[in-house]
Structure 1
Amino acid sequence: MKHRFRNLIVLFTASVVLAFAFNFFLLPHEVLSGGVTGLAMIFGLLTPLSSGIWLIVFNIPVLIIGWMKLGKEFIANSVFSVAVTSVAMLYVPVLQVTEDALLSSVFGGVIVGACIGTIIRFYGSTGGFDVIGLVLTLKRDLPLGVLVFGLNSLVVFASGFFFTWELALYTLASIYITGIVVDRIHTRHIKLSLMVVTDQDQKLRGELIGNLIRGITVMNAQGGYSNEERKVLYTVISRYELALVKSIIQDVDPRAFVSVTETVEVLGNFRRS
């Protein structure tokens, strides 16, 4: 319950800050965010309805797809995040922090990327192409920010058509920066090879399997200096799981020898979700 409450607080804070980034940095210069949010901004600028209203309308079909592919908790968090952002955009005034469109694009992109990355890190999304990108990353180990940047490029052409191509380029720069920041925070696509040399293999193996739901290969080993028998546990984890793994190993066998290396690619039966 406490963990759930903490997650909601983080999601709420990031969603509100996201609304401020939109209304303070991007919308005043008609610099758009990407994907569904960008489309909502376009319709908000072209119609009497607020971008927050359009954000809800466009996200309904996308969230239905996420419900089927990513689970109820994820979609519940996403609906919460989208709702908070949409309501906040209704009440946060559209203010121009700086007259420099490029500066607004850069800072807006950084803040939006940090907020989106944090929301995804805490098992939610801002809807739109975030959900589509996360569904695709279940099949392929692709950087989410790069994937979403490719999808969001469609918004650049839309903004160029409806507004000016100069603003479209600012939008492209903002989306690109957002993608980079998202990838700095969302690192699930990065895989790590974990090798642990221990004499507490039974207990450690049980703890790792119970907490990670991953297969582990056990190999016999002998100390080159001590000649003592040891076991080597080998598995592949995501970067998200590293902190948990280190905590488990420290509790079970503080004297274990641990080697962690980044893995370029994983083939075969690997649980990506």
Structure 2
Amino acid sequence: MNYFVKLAIIVAASILLGFAFNVFLLPHEVLTGGVTGVAMIFGLMTPVNTGFWIIILNIPIVILGWMKLGKEFIINSIISVAVTSVSMLYIPIVQITEDALLSSVWGGVLTGVGIGLIIRYYSSTGGFDVVGILLIKKWDIPLGGLIFALNSGVVVLSGFFFGWELALYTMLSIYITGIVIDRIHTRHVKLNLMVVTSHGEELRRALLENLVRGITVIDGQGAYSREEKKVLYTVITRYELEIIRNVLKEIDPDAFVSISQSMQVMGNFRKDD
């Protein structure tokens, strides 16, 4: 995808985050997780706007991300954090519903959509997103669940400052956010791919050129036609499925393809792509 298209998606998702914070979460003092949640606490307790606190608290984490995740990721993350902060300055804090539960649910959903899109297109909202991405490079686990675990500390803080009823609303919002993130950010989902084709060598070369995966090639034969076939087997991430579809459509649209979700992958499987 063109970089400017990705950047436009990151910017739009960041504005969506600012909208979710100011319209659904902050009016009921329902927090989001991690550094942003801490920034919300400071924003509610001090005259300094939450957007400014987000920038201040993210500075050390941005430095860590620059060292571990690369320049493009951090530039995208700085843009995302800046757009979120500016949008929170200009989007008014408006309570559109008096139901804190309803606001928690919708705030969690919109926050999850925003964060999921931002992370999917190689960026972050700073804070625990960066920490979570660094950790899933070591442990191949769902990012949303990891962020939920990291953010649970914010629930304790909100309980002390704003009461335990609001803390439970915060927990609900963070939990929903984690679920939505895992529906959008699906890199942790592994798929078994088996292709039976008459264009084995051509397809093998094309897959190796477009993927960073090893491929096992097996000789096969059609039981009815007795035609010689090649069976190509590999394991991919869900993100790579669209690449596979395009390659197959171009080289052998009549290939027999079986795709199933893998429960666990052991051995030499690249995780830092």
Shift of 1:68: 2.3
Measured in 2, the distance between the counterparts of 1:110 and 1:203 equals: 44
Shift of 1:213: 1.5
The alignment of Structure 1 onto Structure 2 pairs a total of residues equal to 272
- Residue 49 of structure 2 is matched in structure 1 by 50
Measured in 2, the distance between the counterparts of 1:83 and 1:216 equals: 42
Measured in 2, the distance between the counterparts of 1:64 and 1:208 equals: 36
Alignment-mate amino acid for residue 184 of structure 1? R
Measured in 2, the distance between the counterparts of 1:24 and 1:270 equals: 43
Q: Could you say what secondary structure the match of 1:196 adopts?
A: strand
Alignment-mate amino acid for residue 111 of structure 2? V
Is 2:231 aligned against 1:232?
yes
Shift of 1:177: 0.7
Alignment-mate amino acid for residue 138 of structure 2? K
- Residue 112 of structure 1 is matched in structure 2 by 111
Measured in 1, the distance between the counterparts of 2:184 and 2:11 equals: 17
Is 2:2 aligned against 1:3?
yes
Q: Could you say what secondary structure the match of 1:142 adopts?
A: coil
Q: Which runs of 5 or more structure 2 residues have no equivalent in the other structure?
A: none
Measured in 2, the distance between the counterparts of 1:72 and 1:234 equals: 35
Shift of 1:228: 1.6
Alignment-mate amino acid for residue 39 of structure 1? V
Deviations, residues 77-135 of structure 1 (Å, cap 9, x unaligned): 11110110011111111111111111111111111111111111111111111111111
**Where in structure 2 are the equivalents of 1:29-178 lying within 5 Å?**
29-178=28-177
Q: Could you say what secondary structure the match of 1:219 adopts?
A: strand
TM-score between the two structures when normalised by the length of structure 2 = 0.97
TM-score between the two structures when normalised by the length of structure 1 = 0.97
Shift of 1:70: 2.0
Alignment-mate amino acid for residue 130 of structure 2? V
Measured in 2, the distance between the counterparts of 1:50 and 1:203 equals: 58
Q: Could you say what secondary structure the match of 2:240 adopts?
A: helix
Shift of 1:71: 2.0
Measured in 1, the distance between the counterparts of 2:90 and 2:106 equals: 21
- Residue 26 of structure 1 is matched in structure 2 by 25
Measured in 1, the distance between the counterparts of 2:26 and 2:227 equals: 66
Deviations, residues 226-251 of structure 1 (Å, cap 9, x unaligned): 11211111110001111110111110
Deviations, residues 45-76 of structure 1 (Å, cap 9, x unaligned): 11121111110111111122222222221111
Measured in 2, the distance between the counterparts of 1:14 and 1:155 equals: 23
Alignment-mate amino acid for residue 214 of structure 2? G
Measured in 2, the distance between the counterparts of 1:220 and 1:266 equals: 24
Measured in 1, the distance between the counterparts of 2:196 and 2:62 equals: 44
**Where in structure 2 are the equivalents of 1:233-252 lying within 5 Å?**
233-252=232-251
Alignment-mate amino acid for residue 180 of structure 1? I
Alignment-mate amino acid for residue 161 of structure 1? F
Alignment-mate amino acid for residue 107 of structure 2? G
Alignment-mate amino acid for residue 51 of structure 1? T
Measured in 1, the distance between the counterparts of 2:241 and 2:217 equals: 19
Q: Could you say what secondary structure the match of 2:62 adopts?
A: helix
Alignment-mate amino acid for residue 127 of structure 1? G
- Residue 202 of structure 2 is matched in structure 1 by 203
Q: Could you say what secondary structure the match of 1:197 adopts?
A: strand
**Comparing 158-167 and 68-77, the one that deviates more:** 68-77
Alignment-mate amino acid for residue 136 of structure 1? L
Alignment-mate amino acid for residue 213 of structure 1? V
Measured in 2, the distance between the counterparts of 1:229 and 1:71 equals: 46
Q: Which runs of 5 or more structure 1 residues have no equivalent in the other structure?
A: none
- Residue 260 of structure 2 is matched in structure 1 by 261
Q: Could you say what secondary structure the match of 1:255 adopts?
A: coil
Q: Could you say what secondary structure the match of 2:93 adopts?
A: coil
Alignment-mate amino acid for residue 201 of structure 1? G
